[in-house]
A and B are shown apart, each in its own frame.
Chain A
């Protein structure tokens, strides 16, 4: 079945550092890929998405490229801020499974001033 594996946390960075969170997936069909972010005490917010190979999703300085050859969707940001401290989830959905989201375990990111 579909599954997502993402980098174990926690990750602690200084402000303005480069952030990368690795995500790889296994899927039987042609999935769409997502990154969600969860701030303390809140639900999930859709950060970015990509629906086909080589698509690049981007939002708020974050980017991720759908790499079919390596089955990866790594999240990157060039210069993080304290406000980026959150838990980040990689996820996939597939029309074969009626778009049920399968999530990675989540990566906790803490950015220090």
Chain B
């Protein structure tokens, strides 16, 4: 089975712009979660989608949003980018919710 894929792998954006990241889960997995990884804050949970519904949300501002499509693919959007949004964004998929498999991440740099 193919693993979790994320596109793009690298992205450079300017403050104030918006960005959309994409995640394709492992085939058959209906749960997709997003995490932000930074040197200062470590790994932080953003949100989780299951069958196109947001089931759980972390403590991030409303500029961070996401959605899931009927084929379980998910997108994450960040609007009005700030320098502090520079991070590695990781997507994880799960069949049961309990065991999550991560993609390689999207490295976002905001200048």
Binding site for B on A (CB under 8 A): 32, 36, 42-46, 49, 51, 89, 93, 95, 97-106
Instruction: List the A side residues contacting B90 at CB < 8 Å.
Output: 43-44
Taking a contact as CB atoms under 8 Å apart, the answer to whether A102 and B45 are in contact is: yes
A102 to B4, CA, bound (A): 20
Taking a contact as CB atoms under 8 Å apart, the answer to whether A32 and B102 are in contact is: no
Binding site for A on B (CB under 8 A): 4, 6, 31, 33, 35, 42-43, 45, 48, 55-56, 58, 90, 92, 94, 97-105
Taking a contact as CB atoms under 8 Å apart, the answer to whether B97 and A42 are in contact is: no
Instruction: List the A side residues contacting B97 at CB < 8 Å.
Output: 93, 95, 98-99
Q: A100-B48, A101-B35 are in contact. Are A42 and B104 (CB under 8 A)?
A: yes
A36 to B90, CA, bound (A): 13
Instruction: List the A side residues contacting B100 at CB < 8 Å.
Output: 46, 93, 99, 101
B54 CB to closest chain A CB (Å) equals 10
Given contacts A32-B98, A46-B100, A100-B45, 5 further A-B contacts (CB under 8 A): A43-B90, A43-B102, A45-B102, A93-B97, A93-B98
Taking a contact as CB atoms under 8 Å apart, the answer to whether B99 and A49 are in contact is: yes
Taking a contact as CB atoms under 8 Å apart, the answer to whether A100 and B33 are in contact is: yes
A42 to B103, CA, bound (A): 8
Instruction: List the A side residues contacting B31 at CB < 8 Å.
Output: 99
28 residue pairs of the A-B complex, CB under 8 angstroms, read: A32-B98, A32-B99, A43-B4, A43-B103, A43-B105, A44-B92, A44-B102, A46-B99, A46-B100, A51-B98, A93-B98, A95-B98, A97-B56, A98-B48, A98-B55, A98-B97, A99-B31, A99-B48, A100-B58, A101-B35, A101-B43, A101-B45, A101-B100, A102-B45, A103-B43, A104-B42, A105-B42, A106-B43
